[in-house]
Each structure stands twice: as structure tokens, then as C-alpha cells.
Structure 1
């Protein structure tokens, strides 16, 4: 059997660009390297992406009484090839019959996922400094702002039971949460606001103002 063909998407997309960045980050560390995902090594994160790409049924199946043992065995089989093979499968992307090979679907499903997980690898490594974080494209920054405003910003306000205004110079401001809840303002670039809102506050560069 030949090696998986690297995924390029039908058209260039922010998600496909971030997939490449994520693969580069995973290849820069060892399998047991830490990540910002609590309890997950780089190997665990790579396997998560493989499952999400090609076997999403296993994400649910392992928790079901009737199919759980088979799903867990399938996961072990996916992991048995080793770390390099898992990263190669991340690079290869989803099967050609999956909807995320289409640019609009890929961008909607995966831009934030891949950006966040790339940073999960990079920012967890010893010696990482926020002042040396990677540069991202303006296109990606706009896409992050657009998608996070509808997802992670909403979830962060709900989880904290706060009314939160997310403000990013050049991109705007959006307020999420109950009108009667205490107000706070979080300032930063779209990507740093997204990391903060997704539960990675200790590793995000933002400024917070309490009302």
C-alpha cells in the first residue's frame, strides 16, 4: 500500500493552510511532547485529528455499551502504526468522499480547530515565549474573527455567565452573553481572543477590563 497523498483541498483555504502548519508543528516535536490539551501528548492530538478526519464514528462509538469495545480496538489499531504514521495521516487529510474536501466546508469545520491545535503544540513546549509566536496571514485572522464570533466567544460568555465584549482593533467588537450579566471587555488580536475563549487563557496574550 502506498503512502497517503498529502491533502491540498479542492481550492486553497485557511483550513488547508492551517493543516500544513499543524503538521509542521507535530513533526517538530516527539510523540510524547506535551500539548495545551490537558492529559494529551502530541501523539494523542495527532490521533484525535486522524479520527476526526476519517473515523468520526469512533469519537462517539467508544462510549456506547454495544460498540465501545470494537471502537476502542479500532482506535488502538489506528495508533499502532506509531507517531510518524499518525502525522502522515494528518497530512493526508480526509478521504475524497468526505464533505470537508470542499473549501467552504473545510474552512467552516476546520479553520479554528487546526489553528488552535497548532498552537496547542507550539505553546506547550519548554521555552516558548508569546513574543516569538508565529505570524499568521491577514486572511486567516479575518476568518478566525468571523468564526470565533459565532462559536467560541458565545461559549466563553455562557461558561463564565458573563456578558463579554471581545474587541480587536481593525476587526471590530462583538458582545456575547446575557444582557443582565456582569460585563467585561477582552482586548486582543482575533487569534489571541480565540485562544482565551477556548480555555487557554494562561497561554493567550489579551488585556481584560472589568466593568
Structure 2
């Protein structure tokens, strides 16, 4: 059985190592050091992890993350590469694969695509399908709830899904599953997606979610 989360964990660790601690990422305001600290506390500090999503707890999470960011960068990458400790929820059977396949793929691309001369790399077919299976829920709760237009997310092979407000003008984004996942997570400006739709609808979408330039 494929373990896509484990493969993406190791890919992300290699990218972090190659980039060094002070490289930019697509996470606004974060260097690779900040990203590495985030990855470590997410699975090793249960007291701080909720603040990643819950605004009321974000202050404590920022303080814990800042403390970890002061550790040697090589230690942070090593801890992340080693995987979750036995006391972590992510160590439960199946939890790493379910929770981290998309998380680590997106963060790996946050490092890989941060420079101006980035190139989209091929994604193994099995991993592309795993990303596609997770896209409907992600699109609905990430991109779909912010979009002022109806979104059709389409693959080159013709498969598609639609999210967003019913009755609104439709904008279609076409590309590989990996590119669609990155769009859903707000990284659309650094994708190879093709965007089609009424110009006014495309511009309305661009005001709330990043899109690739024509």
C-alpha cells in the first residue's frame, strides 16, 4: 500500500535541507526556518497545534513556534523527517496518511515554487489520484467558501467538480490535480492552471483568490 504522506514528508525534508534556513516560502512572512518550526510543533506540541486553525489560540501557537524556530535548523528538519512521536495523534494508524498527504505536498511546493524560476514537477500518478480524491472537500471548505463565483475545477482528462455559490457566473480552472489542490489552498498564482470564464467573473475571483496571470 502506498504511503503518500511519508513520501511527501521525505521530499519536503530534502527541499528544506537544500534551501537552507533563510529561504523564502509561499507561506506569507515565513522563511524555511519558520515552516520547519511549524511542521515540528504541529505533530509534537499538542498544546500549541490547535492555534494553527483556531484564532483565539493563535497567540500561544506563535510563541511556541518562535521558540522552536530558535533551535538549530538541522535539528528541526531532523525532527520533522523522523515523523510523529508515539504520543502524537499523527502516530495513530492511518492518521499520517489521512491528515498529511495534502499538507506535506502543499508545503513542499511552498518551498519549491517560492523562487521566481520555479517549474512544476511531474507528480506520480498514484499520488495525483490521492490528491484528486481529497480535492472535493478541500475545494468546498477552502476555495469554495471564499469564492464570489461558481468554480469548476477540471482535469485535462475531462473529470471535474463544481463548488461555490449556485447561480453565480462560472469560472473554470483546468489543470492537473496537484495544481488544483494548490489553487484551493491559495497558491493559485504559482500554478500552471488555465482560467476560463467571463472577464468580470475572473476579475472578481482574482480579488479574493490568487490566480495565474495569462
1:166-205 map, 5 Å: 166-170=153-157, 172-205=159-192
Change (3 A) 1:106 1:125: same
List alignment gaps of at least 5 residues for structure 2. Answer: 199-214
Change (3 A) 1:72 1:44: closer
1:124 aligned partner: 114
Q: 1:39 aligns with which of 18, 22, 29?
A: 29
- Cα distance, 1:168–1:43 mapped onto 2, change above 3 Å: same
For the residues of structure 1 that align with 2:16 and 2:158, how far apart are their CA atoms? 30
Residue equivalent to 2:20: 30
RMSD: 2.5
Q: Which residue of 1 aligns with 2:8?
A: 18
What residue in structure 2 maps to residue 86 of structure 1?
Answer: 76
User: Which digits, 9 at most, give the CA deviation of each residue in 1:139-171, with x for residues without a partner?
Assistant: 110010111221135421221122111111337
Counterparts of 2:172 and 2:25, CA distance in 1:
28
Q: Cα deviations across residues 29-61 of structure 1 (Å, max 9, x unaligned)?
A: 121100011100000000110011111421446
Tell me whether 1:140 sits opposite 2:130 in the alignment: no
Query: Aligned partners of 1:124, 1:168: CA distance in 2, in Å?
Result: 24
Q: Measure how far apart 1:106 and its partner are.
A: 1.5
TM-score (norm 2): 0.81
- Are 1:31 and 1:83, in contact at CA under 8 Å, matched by a contact in 2? yes
- Cα distance between partner residues in 1 of 2:148 and 2:168: 7
Q: Secondary structure at the match of 2:19?
A: coil
Q: Do the aligned residues in 1 keep the contact of 2:139 with 2:163 (CA within 8 Å)?
A: no
Aligned length, in residue pairs: 196
Equivalent position of 1:54 in the other structure: 44
Q: Which moved more, 1:94-103 or 1:72-81?
A: 72-81
1:96 is paired with a residue of what secondary structure? Answer: coil
Unaligned segments of structure 1, at least 5 residues: 1-10
